[in-house]
Amino acid sequence: MRDTLLAIWVFVCIGRGLVADDQVDLRKPPAIETQEVPAVPEELVKKLEQYQNTRAAGFAGWDPAGKGILIRTRFGNSVQVHRVYVPEGRREQITFFEEPVSGAGFIPGDKEGGILLSMSQGGNENNQIYFLDRKDFRTTLLTDGKSRNSIQAAKEDGSQMVVGSNQRNGRDTDLYLADPRKAGSMEMLLEVDRQFWNAVDWSPDGSTLLLSRFVSANESYPFLLDVKSRQKTELPRPAKEIAAYGPMAFTADGQHALVASDALGEFRRLARLDLASGIYEWLSEEIDWDVDELDVYVGQVSNLSKKDGQVGNLSYGMAAFTVNADGVSRLFLLEPTENAEFERRELALPLGIVGSLEFSPDGKHLGFSLARPDAPADAYSLEIANGEITRWTVSEVGGLNPANFIKPERIEFKSFDGRKIPAWYYKPKNASPDKKVPVLINIHGGPEGQSQPFFSGTTQFYLNEMGIAVIYPNVRGSSGYGKTYLKLDNADKREDSVKDIGALLDWIATRPELDASRVAVAGGSYGGYMVLASLTHFGERIKAGIDSVGIANFNTFLANTSAYRQDLRRAEYGDERDEKMKEFFERISPANNVDKIQSWLLVSHGKNDPRVPFSEAEQIAEKVRAKGRPVWTVYADNEGHGFGKKENVDYLRTVEVMFLQKALLAGG
C-alpha cells in the first residue's frame, strides 16, 4: 500500500515537473532527505532483506503474579513491549505505539500486572513515563509531556517511585517522588544545581534511598537519602582518592549495601558495606574485571544450591552480579550462609553479554538478556538450585543459516607508545593471501563505550555477501580495561586515541589476507568524531568514512548540545569556555581540517538529536563537499541520536552498503 501511494505521489510530481524521474527512489522513507545518494536498486534490497529481518528480544522483568515475563522486541516498525507466559511460548504484544518504547517494567508487587513505560517522540530523548493498566487496558501519561524524565527506583511494594526530571528549568535533573499509577503526583525530593544525581535503590523498609552523584566516568560518590527528612549523608569511601562507583544495592536487611567501586585498584570490584560502621568487605577482590550488573533478592530464601537444604542467614538474601571480562560476561551468585557471610559461585553461561539481571518473585530463578556473537539477543532465565538455563524467546534470523555466521577473534595491536590495544576481528571465510579482502574499521562511541562481540546482521552481510573484514577496536579511553586506560584520551590527550587507529592501519598492513589499500572507517556519536578525525590524519590511507551523528567541532558541539548535557560532556572532553581548551578544540576539530580529507564521506543524522546537534552534520558535509569530495548525506526528520525506526534503519543500512560497494569494491 505504501509503495502504491508513493508511486502515485511520484507520478503526480513528475507530471507537474517537480522532480525528475531519474531522481525518484521509492525505497526512501518519507521522513528522509538525501543528497548525492543514488536510488536504491531493487536487487540490493532483496539481497539485504534477510539480514535486515533478524530480530532481538530483551528481558524486561518478571510478572509479580508469577505469570511469565515481559520483553521488548520489534515486530513492526519500532520496538514494543510483549508478554511471554511460558518459555519459548507466543509473544503477546501489549503496546502498539509508532515510537519505540525505550524502557518497560512491571510495577513491583502489582499482582494486576501494572506496567511502567518510557518513550520519547521523534528521537528527541525527552522521555515521558506512562502507566499501562492491564486490568482496565488504559495508558496514562504520568509526566508533563515536555521535559526529560527517567524512572530511577521503585519501592518494593510498588507504592512509590523516584523520577529524575528536568521539568523545573530544562537543565538540572531533580529527583521527585511519584505515585506510579497517578498523573500529577510528582513531589520534589531533591533539587539540584548543576550536579547529576541518580537514585539507584530503595531500602526494603522504604525509609532510605541509595544515591549516586555522578561527575564523570572516573568520578562518582555514594550517598544515603532519608526520604522523610530529605537529609543526604555521604557514605564512607574505602580510599581518599577520586574513584568511580558502579552498581549499588541494599541487602535484604537494609543495614548493608553492595557497592562496586574502583577505589582500591584499576577495576570496579564488589564489596559489602556495613552502613553503620563504614567497613567494606570485598567480595570480588581477586577478579580483575569491572562489575557491570547487580541484583539483590530481598525475600526470604534458603540456600537452594545446598544438597541438604541448609538455610542460610535470611537477613542477607541473595545477590547476583556480572563482570565484564575482556568484553564478555561472567555471572556470579552470592548466597547467604549461617555466619552472616556470602558464599560465591560462578554460573556457567554461553559466550556472550548479559544484561537486565532480575530475580524472580519467589527467588528461585534469575532472569536476564543474553547477546551472543553468533545469534541475536534473547531473554533467558537460570534456575538457582542447579544452574539450569531456560531460553524464553527464540528470535528470528531472517531465514538465514546460523551456521554461516562468523564469530570474531579477539586481537591486540601495538600503538605508538607501545601500549597494546584490544579489538574484535571478524574475518570473511574467503580471506587469504591469494584473495586479499577490504577492511571496515568500526569505532564505538561514548567515548567511554566498549566494542563487545554482539551479533549484527549488517556485519554478517559485510562478511558473507561482500567479503569485507570488519574490525571493532577498543582504542584508549574505552571502558572495561581499567581506570587508567579509561583516562588516556581525556582533555588534551584526545588525539592519542586517533593515533591508535593509525596503529591499527599499520597492523592491517602486516596481515597477508587484508588489503591495506582498501580500508574504510565507520562510527557513531563520538565514534563519528573518530571517523572524521581519522580521515583528517590518515586521508591517504583510508578510502571512505561513514559518520553517524558525529561531532565535527567540539566547540560548536559543546555550545549547542542540550543544556542538561553540557556540564557532563565538559567533564569528559574539556571546557570550551577555557581559552586554552577552546584553542585546542579549534586545532583538532575535523571541521577545521577538511583540507586533509581525501576520502569519500557518508554523513547520517537525525534532525531531533539532543546530544550531538544536527548542525554538526550540516557543517562537516558542507565543508567537505565544498572541497570537491564526494559526500552522501542521509538526514531524518523523525529521528534523534541514531535511527530507531525500522524503515529508516533499513534504508540507511542499504545506503551504507551501496557506499562501501562504490568506495571499496568498485574502485570509487
Residue 338 or 600, more confident: 600
- What confidence score (pLDDT) does residue 304 get? 44
| 475 and 489 in a common domain | yes
Residue 40 and residue 23 in one domain: no
pLDDT(315) > 80:
no
Rounded CA-CA distance 431/357 in Å is 39
Cβ distance 252 to 204 under 8 Å? yes
Q: What is the structure's pLDDT at 310? A: 41
190-235 per-position pLDDT tens digit = 999 989 999 999 999 999 999 999 998 899 999 999 999 999 999 9
In what helix (H) or strand (E) does residue 625 lie, and over which residues does it extend? helix 614-626
The H or E element that residue 537 is part of is helix 526-537
Dihedral sign for Cα atoms in the order 527, 532, 536, 542 = positive
- pLDDT tens column, 421-445: 999 999 999 999 999 999 999 999 9
The DSSP-derived string for 578-623 is SHHHHHHHHHH-GGG-GGG--SEEEEEEETT-SSS-HHHHHHHHHH
Q: How confident is the model at residue 9 (pLDDT cuts 50, 70, 90)?
A: very low
pLDDT category of residue 23 using cuts at 50, 70 and 90: low
423 and 449 in a single domain? The answer is yes
The alpha carbon of 389 is separated from its chain's Cα centroid by a whole number of angstroms, namely: 25
> Pick from 663, 528, 652: which is nearest to 52 by CA?
652
Distance, in Å, from the CA atom of 79 to the CA atom of 103, rounded to the nearest integer, reads: 10
Does 314 fall in a domain?
Answer: no
Helix axes of 646-660 and 42-52: crossing angle, nearest 10 degrees? 120
Dihedral in degrees, nearest 10, Cα atoms 18, 24, 25, 26? 70
Which helix (H) or strand (E) is 567 found in, with range?
A: helix 563-573
- Retrieve residue 220's grid coordinates: 562518582
Q: Quickly count: other Cβ atoms within 10 Å of residue 25's Cβ.
A: 17
- Grid cell listed for 253: 536487611
Evaluate if residue 534 carries a pLDDT over 80.
yes
pLDDT at residue 462 tops 50: yes
Task: Give the whole-angstrom CA distance, residue 314 versus residue 363.
Answer: 12
Per DSSP, 135 falls in state T
Q: Is residue 583 in a domain?
A: yes
The answer on pLDDT for 139 being more than 80 is yes
Q: What is the pLDDT of residue 365?
A: 96
Grid coordinates given for 280: 567494606
The structure's pTM equals 0.91
CATH of the domain at 485: 3.40.50.1820
**Using one digit for the tens of pLDDT, what is the confidence trace for 374-405?**
999 999 999 999 999 999 999 989 899 999 99
Lookup: cell for 6: 508513493
Which of 144-148, 396-400, 533-537, 612-616 shows the lowest mean pLDDT across its residues? 396-400
Q: What is the DSSP letter of 665?
A: I
Query: Given a cut of 60, is residue 16 above it in pLDDT?
Result: no
Alpha helix (H) ranges present in 446-510? 457-464, 483-486, 494-510
CA 379, CA 62: separation in Å to the nearest integer?
11
- CA-based torsion, 656, 658, 659, 660: positive or negative: positive
What is the β-pairing status of strands 365-372 and 353-359?
antiparallel
Most confident option among 118-127, 144-153, 486-495 = 144-153
What pLDDT was estimated at residue 300? 60
pLDDT, one tens digit per residue, over 626-658 is 999 999 999 999 999 999 898 999 999 999 999
Closest CA to 100 of 546, 519, 526, 646: 646
Question: What pLDDT is stored for residue 14 in this prediction?
Answer: 35
Going by C-alpha positions, the residue among 564, 509, 543 that lies closest to residue 660 is 543
Whether residue 299 is contained in a domain is answered as no
In a domain, 359, yes or no: no
* Domains in the chain, number: 2
Q: What is the number of alpha carbons within 13 Å of residue 111 lying toward its C-beta? A: 1
* Residue 312: C-alpha distances to residues 133, 283, 330, 515, 656 (Å): 38, 17, 24, 60, 56
* 290 belongs to a structural domain: no
Mean pLDDT of all residues in 160-179: 95
Task: Tell me how far CA of residue 639 lies from CA of 61, 143, 393, 635, 636, in angstroms.
Answer: 28, 22, 28, 9, 6
Asked whether residue 416 falls in the same domain as residue 445, the answer is: yes
**Average pLDDT for residues 329-348, to the nearest whole number?**
86
The DSSP secondary-structure symbol of 28 reads S
Residues linked to residue 258 through DSSP beta bridges, in sequence order: 249, 272
Residue 306 confidence (pLDDT): 42
- Kindly state whether residues 7 and 48 are assigned to the same domain: no
What's the pLDDT at 317?
Answer: 76
How does residue 316 score in pLDDT terms, banded at 50, 70 and 90?
A: low
Q: Are 14 and 40 members of one domain?
A: no
Of 52, 54, 91, 49, which Cα lies nearest the Cα of 69? Answer: 91
pLDDT given for residue 125 in this prediction: 86
User: H/E/C letters for each residue in 161-214?
Assistant: EEEEECCCCCCCCEEEEECCCCCCCCEEEECCCCCEEEEEEECCCCCEEEEEEE
* 553, 537: one domain: yes
Grid coordinates given for 210: 541509595
Both 467 and 496 in one domain: the answer is yes
Higher-confidence residue of 451 and 566: namely: 451
262-290: per-residue pLDDT in tens? 999 999 999 999 999 999 999 999 999 99
In a domain, 99, yes or no: no
Question: Is residue 340 very low, low, confident or very high in pLDDT (cuts 50, 70, 90)?
Answer: low
Name the band, by pLDDT with cuts 50, 70 and 90, for residue 88.
very high
Average pLDDT over residues 169-194: 94
What's the one-letter identity of residue 360?
S
Same domain, 496 and 518: yes
- Look up the domain containing 466 and give its range: 31-52+412-665
Q: Which residues lie below 8 Å from residue 74, measured CB to CB, with a gap of 6+?
A: 55, 80, 100, 646
* Residues 63, 66: Cα–Cα separation, whole Å: 5
The band of 324, judged by pLDDT with boundaries at 50, 70 and 90, is very high
Structure confidence at residue 134 (pLDDT): 87
How would you list the strands of the sheet with 232-234, edge to edge?
196-202, 208-216, 219-226, 232-234
Model confidence at 455, pLDDT cuts 50, 70, 90, reads very high
Given pLDDT bands bounded at 50, 70 and 90, which one contains residue 301? low
Average pLDDT, the chain: 90
Range among 333-342, 485-494, 530-539 with highest mean pLDDT value:
530-539
